[in-house]
Amino acid sequence: MQIFHRSTNTIAKVSIFGSIFFLAFFAWVYSTLLRSSYVTGQGVVKKQPVPFSHQHHVAGLGIDCRYCHTSVERSAFAGIPPTETCMNCHRQIWTNAELLEPVRASYRDNVPLQWTRLNDLPDFVYFNHSVHIAKGMGCVTCHGPVNQMQLTFQHASLQMEWCLSCHRDPAQNVRPREEVFNLDWQPPADPRQARALQARLVKEYNVRSLTSCSTCHR
């Protein structure tokens, strides 16, 4: 006796076959979500106590990165400037600007500013700025064209696959040390020349691919 209608065969085939698509779709949604800026924070502008413009200070005024991020060559942490650094200039210019009131208040009342962290690695990851600088990795490589950012945001995904894309082949990003803080530097346009330069720098700076877990996880 025929219990199921003939069409059941088709339905069964489609649903078995379809489940593969369904699973694939789910996996795709999952991996897309994982890499989305919702999770990574990439490209998201966050609220800050003062709408500080890197574009104005870096591109407009030509202030070097290290004027504010003083410990970038010596420490794991690049350093966020103390209020005093802001006031070095702003006790003389824009002294009445309303935008800068939080800065003046901080200096006046001796209460630190609280900046929202943009480039935030998980607590089990130990990144060190100084060694990347020493090995000829430019600021722009990870932080993007900060000199064009009116409001600053996280440029890269900062996910492990992104870290590893360079750690597996650091030559692609190496630049002369004197150009590390130059956000507009470009490698030679000729790919052969670019490769030659990279090869020379990798040798000169002893740049190595480090992918042991303890390089970053301690």
Partner 1 sequence: MDNHQGKCGAEPSVDLEAVRERLRTKKGPEFWRSLDELAAAPGFQEMLHREFPRHASEWTDGVSRRGFLQLASASLALAGLTACTRQPTEVIVPYVKQPEQLVPGRPLFFATALTVSGLGLGVLAESHQGRPTKIEGNPDHPASLGATDVFAQAAVLTLYDPERSQTVLQSGRPATWGGFVSEANGALRALQALGGDGLRLLTGTVTSPTLAAQIQGLLQKYPKARWHRWEPAAGNAHAAAVRAFGRPLAARYDFTRAKVVVTLGSDMLAEGPGAVRYARDFTDGRRVRRDHAEMNRLYAVESFPTPTGSIADHRLQLSPPQLEAFALALAQAVGAAGGTGATLADPKAEKWLQAVATDLKANPGASLVVADEYGSPAVQVLVHAINQALGNAGRTVVYTEPVAVDPVDPVQSLAELVNDMNAGRVDVLLMLDGVNPVYSAPADLPFAAGLKKVRVAIHHGLFEDETSGYCRWHLNAAHELESWGDARAFDGTVSILQPLIEPLYGGRTAIEVLAALSDQPDATSYDLVRGYWSTRLNAGGNLDKTTDPGGVTTALGFGTLPGTMTQPVAATATGAGTAAFEAAFRRVLHTGLVPNTQAPPVSAVIQGAAVQQAAGEIAAAAPGVTLLFRPDPTIYDGRFASNAWLQELPKPISKLTWDNALMLSPKTAQRLKLEMEEMAEVNASGRKIRAAVWIQPGLADDTALLHLGYGRQNAGKATGAGFNAYPLRTSQTQWSIPGVELRSLGGRYPLASTQNHHLLEPGWDEMKLASEEAERREVIRHGTLDQFRKNPNFIQEAREKPAADETLYPKYPYPGHAWGMSIDLGVCTGCSSCVVACQAENNVPVVGKEQVLKHRAMHWLRIDRYFSGDIDEPTIHHQPVPCMHCENAPCEIVCPVAATVHSDEGLNDMVYNRCVGTRYCSNNCPYKVRRFNFLRYSDRTTPVLALLENPDVTVRMRGVMEKCTYCVQRIEEAKIESKVEGRPIPANWLKTACQQACPTQAIVFGDVNDPAWEVTKLKAEPLNYGLLEELNTRPRTTYLAKLRNPNPALAGLEQGAEHGHA
Interface residues with partner 1 (CB under 8 A) are: 30, 33-34, 38-39, 41, 46, 71, 73-77, 79-84, 106-107, 110-117, 120, 122-124, 126, 128, 130-131, 133-135, 206, 210, 212-215, 217-218
The residue among 99 and 210 lying less far from partner 1, judged by its C-beta, is 210
Supply the minimum distance, in Å, between the C-beta of residue 187 and partner 1: 23
In whole angstroms, what is the distance from residue 82 CA to residue 111 CA? 11
Q: Are 118 and 153 in contact (CB under 8 A)?
A: yes
Supply the minimum distance, in Å, between the C-beta of residue 120 and partner 1: 6
In whole angstroms, what is the distance from residue 101 CA to residue 110 CA? 13
Q: Cα torsion for 110, 111, 112, 114, to the nearest 10°?
A: -160
In whole angstroms, what is the distance from residue 109 CA to residue 103 CA? 10
The residue among 14 and 29 lying less far from partner 1, judged by its C-beta, is 29
Supply the minimum distance, in Å, between the C-beta of residue 52 and partner 1: 12
The residue among 122 and 191 lying less far from partner 1, judged by its C-beta, is 122
The residue among 113 and 139 lying less far from partner 1, judged by its C-beta, is 113
- The distance of Cα 55 from the centroid of its chain, to the nearest Å, equals 17
